[in-house]
């Protein structure tokens, strides 16, 4: 096993995609059960390969002169479905470290075992952050029983990325396949950010239907950022575009949600927004480098 170390030429690349999913492992095991996988494919209508391999993802981003943060979600306690191999993502990212940056995932409902795994994933595998999906993982992020997790992440000096807002996972299914949207209200993360000022928190996606709350939190808390993945930019709420162009220009991060949203589609729709040219270097790379703690 080789521990991940950065091999990205950060001066040469034009962007860092902060939000991409590895949804299949080397044994062919998917991150979602068959029903959820089919429903998400129908919801996102990508038309492309739904679960590309890590090799294919590395090539995809290399061709675009970009780096990509890659991860999955361990939601076994809430869903009963074992995740695809989290450690394998870090190991394979180490093989493609010129373009891929691994984040880890732990199941918050596993308590002390999850805390121990945070340290192991950073110390032994070199992951550069952690991904949480409160709705899929079935937990309220501001419940104090999960605070030891955040303490561990702070000790490791890496960011935590939380899904916020509506989710395409379970969309259109009876009862949303049991997935509850309220767990992904960004106001729950306001508590976390306030109680852990040394924790870098990334709110993933325009947090429909709580975008105004999301903008307020990112404006108020120096340690909170917003990634713009999960929605085509043509659907961005106008107040989010205004904030990204002004007071949140140092707080917004390029993300696609690949493979469910294709990078090329995101970029084509983004080009139609009226974004200020001076914001783009921040949005596409500089802000992400600060979040990841990369110094030049």
- Tell me the per-residue pLDDT of 221-230, one tens digit each, with 9 for 90 and over: 999 999 999 9
Q: Residues 155-169: what's their mean pLDDT?
A: 96
Give the mean pLDDT of the chain. 95
Distance, CA of 33 to CA of 40 (rounded, Å): 11
User: What stretches of 230-274 adopt beta strand conformation (E)?
Assistant: 252-253
Write down the pLDDT at residue 31. Answer: 79
Write down the pLDDT at residue 146. Answer: 98
Distance, CA of 115 to CA of 109 (rounded, Å): 10
Instruction: From residue 86, give the alpha-carbon distance in Å to each of 8, 48, 57, 130, 146.
Output: 21, 23, 16, 11, 20
CB hemisphere CA count around 156 (13 angstroms): 29
pLDDT by residue (tens digit) across 16-35?
999 999 988 887 888 777 77
Write down the pLDDT at residue 262. Answer: 95
Write down the pLDDT at residue 2. Answer: 84
pTM above 0.85, yes or no: yes
Write down the pLDDT at residue 40. Answer: 66
- Residue 196 scores a pLDDT above 90: yes
Write down the pLDDT at residue 46. Answer: 58
Q: How would residue 218 be classed by pLDDT, with cut points 50, 70 and 90?
A: very high
CB of 159 closer than 8 Å to CB of 291: yes
Q: Residues 141-162: what's their mean pLDDT?
A: 98
pLDDT by residue (tens digit) across 83-138?
999 999 999 999 999 999 999 999 999 999 999 999 999 999 999 999 999 999 99
- Residue 210 scores a pLDDT above 90: yes
- Residue 44 scores a pLDDT above 80: no
List all residues 6 or more positions away from 149 whose beta carbon is below 8 Å from its beta carbon.
Answer: 106, 108, 114, 115, 118
Determine how β-strand 252-253 pairs with β-strand 224-227: parallel
Q: How would residue 176 be classed by pLDDT, with cut points 50, 70 and 90?
A: very high
Write down the pLDDT at residue 33. Answer: 73
């Amino acid at each position: 096993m080789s521990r991940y170390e950065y091999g990205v030429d950060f001066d040469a690349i034009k962007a860092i995609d902060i939000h991409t999913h590895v949804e299949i492992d080397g044994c062919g095991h998917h991150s979602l059960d068959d029903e959820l996988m089919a429903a998400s494919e129908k919801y996102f209508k990508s038309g492309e390969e739904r679960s590309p391999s890590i090799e294919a993802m590395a090539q995809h981003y290399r061709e675009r002169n970009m780096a990509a943060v890659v991860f999955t979600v361990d939601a076994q306690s809430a869903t009963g479905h074992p995740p695809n191999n989290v450690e394998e993502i870090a190991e394979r990212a180490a093989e493609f470290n010129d373009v891929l940056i691994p984040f880890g995932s732990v199941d918050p409902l596993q308590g002390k075992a999850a805390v121990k795994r945070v340290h192991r994933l950073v110390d032994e595998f070199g992951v550069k952050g952690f991904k949480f999906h409160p709705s899929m993982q079935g937990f309220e992020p501001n419940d104090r029983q999960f605070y030891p997790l955040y303490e561990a992440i702070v000790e490791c000096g890496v960011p935590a990325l939380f899904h916020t807002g509506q989710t395409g996972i379970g969309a259109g299914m009876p009862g949303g396949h049991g997935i509850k949207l309220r767990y992904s209200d960004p106001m729950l993360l306001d508590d976390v950010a306030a109680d852990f000022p040394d924790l870098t928190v990334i709110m993933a996606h325009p947090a429909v239907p709580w975008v105004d709350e999301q903008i307020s939190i990112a404006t108020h808390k120096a340690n909170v950022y917003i990634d713009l993945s999960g929605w085509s930019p043509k659907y961005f709420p106008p107040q989010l575009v205004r904030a990204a162009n002004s007071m949140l220009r140092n707080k917004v991060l390029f993300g696609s949600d690949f493979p469910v949203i294709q990078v090329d589609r995101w970029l084509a729709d983004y080009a139609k927004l009226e974004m200020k040219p001076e914001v783009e270097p921040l949005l596409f790379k500089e802000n992400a480098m600060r979040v990841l703690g990369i110094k030049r």
